[in-house]
Structure 1
């Protein structure tokens, strides 16, 4: 066979091999190649089933509720966790939210000190102990002389830690500043998820995840080792679903600053 014919044959073989390789990658690539996977998709369900760190999912799903408004993501996350820690247990007295049913609407209820309300936390009762006032959460500057500054809506990570402590919880804030500490902080996050009655809330930028919105809080409730991803139980359930997020991606999202302050995650438990 002539050299030119041999070269042509080799080129054809290489092209065939390349086409086969591309076809194989497209049809056999692991589903966890995507940084975001909906929890109720086939892949999302499979991750939850195979996850060895998922107890928080079941504990918090029982008490899950969406945020009441667009600035209460931190408040809603803390409400879910407080109810998971304390509802049905005798260690704490939970004052019912009297605003749910007005006094004038209770005329036909039994009058012998019977209450129509459940003993559980609501976002209204949780926010009452916030380090920021309700108006400050709604954007009012903390100092009158700073009226012209940009409004600081919602809570920061330090504010959320203060809210947890004001409710008698132990709170440890992990500030994600750069990639140097990611491995150590990821281990701490996984350890919190694996510990009983210990919960974690992530504070991240939605922009990094290509989601609508900006800064956000939500509980993280499971870890899947094979895909190296965390399951976020998003409290903005009116327009976002719960998602598995690639570990590197969520830490990148937590490293984006919030009005000059570091984001990260909060680990809480009973004091």
Structure 2
């Protein structure tokens, strides 16, 4: 049990370099920004703004605020029947316990945002100019007209507090508004136990993006997070889905397992020939001696409870099974996996993949609530993740389903499978990014 700190603090006085949002001048600046159309992003962000629950959670809480403000459905329960983002859900690129100690850096923030289905445009401060930054602030904070709908993108800054004469080092915050007249931006500080919301001169904030982060050797920076709905090529009929399809329905992953992703990344780079389903399966089974190694790469998600997600998972499973049966290595791998059947229940996955055996260990990892998905299915999704984006699409959309397939598999399921593979590919690609 850790001992209590020798000193405690109740907030900090804002320095003269910034203006408190709740002060008379802060209110005047807000009225000016509102009149000038520069508070377009303020209202959805302020509705969701919260105080970070841990001193080092500025990055996670900033992202949670943006995800909830953008109305992204996490597709998992928060409390009771309610689906809502909280910091503990952001575990695709990080180990939450480690974040409590050290926080996250710029590239990890971008990784987390991308894993939730957001379009991320990161810019290091050293690669930008003051005018470029100002233009991005204008674009994200300013409404084009009074009839503009809710904003679909927000601006996040990663900056050094010391440049603003504040205590602390690196920090993440959303930008809530821009007042063109004074050239100030409103910083929605999630560390409200320390500093309240405040206005900062835009050039000064830009200067705070430039210092080097000692952890990465790169400057801080800014990024836009977007989440737009686009129905092109989609036939799910679900207006809540975005083209990025937030979160995997099948798998999760842990940052602590980056070592195995790095090993696999080296394997793919060393392959002299094109990666095949067989070579992928051999890697993840140690030449068909150990089925369970693949669970170091991915972990099955909890079984879904929403009807749409349940139906989507069924469609995904059928689609993967058809792709497996069509692959020239499918039968060979199925036969190689049979000697390992002592580790599995012996149940098969249905008529489309009679040799896809279910693992007993997976469905019982968390009280039987994990998806009961076969090793062969997992290997195939990892195989797709090992291909180029064009190769994946050619396989997934180029495969015809036979008339015997009773479960509906539309383009929405094919898009979701591509997203499942893309998330695994992204995790592998960024496994050596600190």
Same fold per superposition (TM over 0.5):
yes
Q: For the Cα contact (< 8 Å) 1:157–1:266, is it kept in 2?
A: no
Shift of 1:191: 0.7
Distance 1:93 1:78 in 2: 13
Match of 1:134 among 96, 100, 103: 96
Structure 2 residue runs of 5 or longer lacking an equivalent are 1-15, 144-150, 228-243, 245-434
Corresponding residue number in structure 2 for 1:42: 24
Corresponding residue number in structure 2 for 1:59: 44
Q: What pairs up with 1:69-108 in 2 under 5 angstroms?
A: 69-86=54-71, 92=73, 94-98=75-79
Distance 2:83 2:94 in 1: 25
Corresponding residue number in structure 2 for 1:14: none
Corresponding residue number in structure 2 for 1:148: none
Choose between structure 1 and 2 for higher RCO, CA contacts under 8 A separated by at least 6 residues.
1
Distance 1:53 1:94 in 2: 32
- 1:222 is aligned to 2:177: yes
Corresponding residue number in structure 1 for 2:130: 182
Distance 2:175 2:76 in 1: 27
- 1:199 is aligned to 2:184: no
Distance 2:175 2:75 in 1: 25
Q: What pairs up with 1:151-162 in 2 under 5 angstroms?
A: 153-162=102-111
Corresponding residue number in structure 2 for 1:110: none
Q: 1:93 to 1:219 in 2, by over 3 A?
A: closer
Corresponding residue number in structure 2 for 1:124: 88
Q: For the Cα contact (< 8 Å) 1:94–1:121, is it kept in 2?
A: no
Could you tell me the TM-score, scaled by structure 1's length? 0.70
Distance 1:69 1:136 in 2: 12
Distance 1:207 1:93 in 2: 35
Q: For the Cα contact (< 8 Å) 2:17–2:165, is it kept in 1?
A: no
Q: Deviations over 1:165-215 (max 9, x none)?
A: 00010001111117x711112212321223622101111111111112111
Distance 2:84 2:110 in 1: 21
Distance 1:211 1:222 in 2: 20
> 3-state DSSP class of the match of 1:86?
coil
Distance 1:216 1:161 in 2: 14
Corresponding residue number in structure 2 for 1:30: none
Distance 2:97 2:48 in 1: 27
Match of 2:221 among 245, 264, 267: 264
Shift of 1:133: 1.9
Q: For the Cα contact (< 8 Å) 1:255–1:264, is it kept in 2?
A: yes
Distance 2:184 2:21 in 1: 11
> 3-state DSSP class of the match of 1:191?
helix
Q: Deviations over 1:34-93 (max 9, x none)?
A: 641100111111111111211211111111111111111000000001111116xxxx45
Q: 1:122 to 1:93 in 2, by over 3 A?
A: closer
Structure 1 residue runs of 5 or longer lacking an equivalent are 1-33, 99-114, 140-152
* RMSD of equivalent CA atoms: 1.8
